[in-house]
């Protein structure tokens, strides 16, 4: 195992996933890729109702929030002892973007929290973790 991808949205469950992935990366001597996906939970018609200035402001707000989430996750991973941590912020459908990024970066596995901060999805698993388990062509670990 050389690269572990962990997705985070800053929620408690996602931070537990970061901790798990960091311990795994440390134990295996693997790189840790921490990912945050922006915008997957926004209604499609939202942007049609706001001005260009509001769209720019909203994009900057999301990018700033993503940066804070990733920085916090990197600090947690470093405190656990992971030496090689990469950060990646992308936008789009969260599950599909995570899968594409895992393939692009040659990740060996994906780690996610069971439930995130997104809209209410499945009863037992969040909709993103559920999609990843169903669609990802590599192992996915879901952390409660």
Domains by residue range for the chain, with CATH: 3-143 (3.40.50.620)
Record the tokens describing residue 6, joined without a space: 């962990």
Record the tokens describing residue 53, joined without a space: 């200035």
Which of the four pLDDT bands, split at 50, 70 and 90, describes residue 55? Answer: confident
Does residue 106 sit in helix, strand or coil? coil
pLDDT of residue 44: 58
User: Is the pLDDT assigned to residue 27 strictly greater than 80?
Assistant: yes
Judged on CB neighbours under 10 Å (0-12, 13-18, 19+), 31 is buried
pTM: 0.85
pLDDT of residue 120: 42
Does residue 41 sit in helix, strand or coil? coil
Residue 5 is inside which H or E element, if any?
strand 3-7
Residue 96 to residue 57: CA distance in whole angstroms: 25
User: Is the pLDDT assigned to residue 21 strictly greater than 90?
Assistant: yes
Residue 144 to residue 141: CA distance in whole angstroms: 10
pLDDT of residue 116: 57
pLDDT of residue 45: 65
Q: What is the number of residues in the chain? A: 144
pLDDT of residue 123: 40
Give the pLDDT mean for 130-137.
96
At 101-131, the pLDDT tens digits run 999 999 999 999 997 555 444 444 468 999 9
């Amino acid at each position: 195992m050389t690269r572990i991808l962990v997705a985070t949205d800053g929620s408690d469950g996602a931070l537990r996933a970061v901790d798990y992935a960091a311990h795994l990366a440390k134990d295996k001597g693997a790189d840790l890729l921490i990912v945050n996906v922006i915008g997957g939970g926004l209604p499609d018609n939202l942007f049609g109702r706001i001005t260009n200035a509001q769209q720019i402001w909203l994009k900057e707000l999301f990018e700033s929030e993503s940066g804070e989430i990733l920085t916090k996750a990197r600090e947690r991973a470093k405190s656990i002892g992971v030496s090689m941590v990469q950060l990646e912020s992308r936008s789009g459908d969260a599950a599909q973007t995570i899968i594409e990024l895992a393939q692009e970066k040659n990740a060996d596995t994906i780690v996610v929290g069971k439930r995130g901060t997104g809209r209410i999805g499945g009863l037992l698993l969040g909709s993103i973790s559920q999609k990843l388990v169903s669609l990802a062509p590599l192992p996915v670990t879901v952390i409660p």
